[in-house]
Amino acid sequence: MSAAVESTDDPAILSVEDLHVEFDTYGGIVKAVRGASFNVRAGKTLAIVGESGCGKSVTVQSILGLIPMPPGRITRGRALLDGVDIVRQKIVGGEDIRGNRIGMIFQDPMSSLNPTMRVGDQIAETLIVHRGYSPSRAFQRAVELLERTHIPEPEQRARQYPFAFSGGMLQRAMIAMSIACEPDILIADEPTTALDVTIQAQILELIGELKRDRGMAVVLITHDLGVVARMADDVVVMYGGEIAEKGTVDEIFYQPSHPYTLGLRAAMPSNERGREQGLKAIEGAPPDLFSPPPGCSYFARCPHAMRLCEAHHPERFEISAHHYASCWLHHPDNPRPLGQETDG
């Protein structure tokens, strides 16, 4: 635990501040992200965890300019990469930061690759565009990158089309492409959700290895607390478009301070023998983001809700240095604090 806590003062390579994102739809305006702030530390893994529709993917996609605008819109906030706000500026020092400083891999590698192009050519294209490599040199480098991501027989594989690859191999190829320009940050959006647990373990190991070897920061978007526990240094828990809690991985698992974090953990099997530690479902459903509740997003499902929580948006309370929870239970004058109970 100590190692993780001591290192929280590492400099942030990417700093997201008060990000708000909306989408125009036929049904009205969806307020998908409402005030997300977090830091990505150099060489560390930040996990953004939450359920479908919590805004975790939209957060990073909007930072990278990957959401269609319109209908999407960043209404407030900024994201500083080495002090430059990349929300409004994608070209820094004459280079597009995307693919260059920040690489990205997605859940479904098949739909992220061009089915009509050989895999090696697709990886080479990145280097031709960003680095001005000659086609033959870029292709040679693509083969090396496939080897680096442990794809067997990389020379043959580089000449094949995506359909000839398995899901795990495609994700390796995507990773090879995303690290081609040696980015400082790799954003991985549910990179293993579509994969079997055995292949997931291989891909997570590869991401961890690249992070260690290259000192790359990783932003890992996932719904799986097991993956968070295996990979993360820092964790951001999102709910209903907002950040419910953030801290180091140990703080989130061993001192969870937002009722939603507690609820998520209790909804998973305990991995102890027997069934005594019963599953506790979180009843109800996430809030309607067309008209988010004025108070706490989690109010309707929260077993600890107070009358205050319904109408008044919770402030962000500091639990300890760098560990925050947006929950009224942590108000210093609350007579019944959440305390250290860990079973919700």
Partner 1 sequence: MSPLIESKALSKHFRLDARRTVHAVDEVSLAIAPREILGLVGESGSGKSTYGKTLLGLHDKTSGEVTYKDERLPAQYKAADFARWAPHMQMIFQDPYSSLNPRMTVGEIIAEGLKLTSQPGSAKRSESVARWLEEVGLDPDHASRYPHEFSGGQRQRVGIARALILEPEFVVCDEPISALDVSVQAQVVRLLGDLKERMGLTMLFIAHDLSMVRYVSDRMAVMYMGTIVELGAADDVYFEPNHPYTQGLVASNPEPDPRTERERETHPIRGEITSPVNIGAGCRFAGRCPMVMEQCRTVTPRLTTIEPEDGRAPRKVACHLFSADK
Among 224, 312, 331, 342, binds partner 1 (CB under 8 A): 224
Site size for partner 1 (CB under 8 A): 44
Report the distance separating Cα 153 and Cα 314, nearest Å.
55
d(CA 34, CA 242): 5
Q: Does 52 bind partner 1 (CB under 8 A)?
A: yes
Cα 129 from chain centre: 27
User: 6 to each of 9, 35, 42, 249, 250, how far by Cα in Å?
Assistant: 7, 27, 15, 13, 12
116 φψ region: left (φ > 0), alpha (ψ -120 to 50), beta (else)? alpha
Least distance from partner 1 to the Cβ atom of residue 297, Å: 14
Identified binder of partner 1 from the candidate list 274, 332, 335, 339, rule CB under 8 A = 274
| Residue from 136, 281, 339, 343 in contact with partner 1 (CB under 8 A) | 281
170 binds partner 1 (CB under 8 A): no
Which of 75, 114, 166, 320 is close enough to bind partner 1 by CB under 8 A?
A: 166
Q: How far apart are CA 83 and CA 92, in angstroms?
A: 11
Stretch in the footprint of partner 1 (CB under 8 A) among 134-142, 154-162, 245-253, 333-341: 245-253
Q: How far apart are CA 304 and CA 337, in angstroms?
A: 10
- Answer whether 35's CB lies under 8 Å from 19's CB: yes
Which segment (33-41, 72-80, 132-140, 162-170) binds partner 1 by CB under 8 A? 162-170
Nearest CB to partner 1, comparing residues 3 and 333: 3
Beta strands in the chain (DSSP E): 12-25, 28-41, 45-49, 72-81, 84-85, 91-92, 95-96, 102-105, 185-189, 217-222, 234-239, 242-248, 316-320, 323-326
**Backbone dihedral angles phi then psi of residue 64, each to the nearest 5 degrees:** -85, 0
Q: Which lies closer to partner 1 via its Cβ, residue 200 or residue 257?
A: 200
Q: How far is the CB of 279 from partner 1 (least distance, A)?
A: 5
* Contact with partner 1 (CB under 8 A) among 213, 283, 333, 341: 283
Instruction: State how far the Cα of 158 lies from the Cα of 28, in Å rounded to an integer.
Output: 46
Chain position carrying tokens 């001192």? 255
Please identify, using beta-carbon distances, which residue of 115 and 269 lies nearer to partner 1. Answer: 269
Segment interacting with partner 1, rule: CB under 8 A, options 21-29, 210-218, 228-236, 329-337: 228-236
Q: Pick the binder of partner 1 from 10, 51, 85, 96 (CB under 8 A).
A: 51
CA distance 161 to 152: 15
Pattern 251-270, partner 1, x by CB under 8 A: --xx--------xxx-xxxx
Stretch that binds partner 1, among 18-26, 94-102, 173-181, 217-225 (CB under 8 A): 217-225
285 binds partner 1 (CB under 8 A): yes
Distance CA 220, CA 223 (A): 10
Does 202 bind partner 1 (CB under 8 A)? Our answer is yes
Name the minimum Å distance from CB 35 to partner 1.
23
Task: Point out which residues bind partner 1 (CB under 8 A).
Answer: 51-52, 166, 168-169, 196-202, 204-205, 223-230, 232, 249-250, 253-254, 263-265, 267-271, 273-275, 279-283, 285
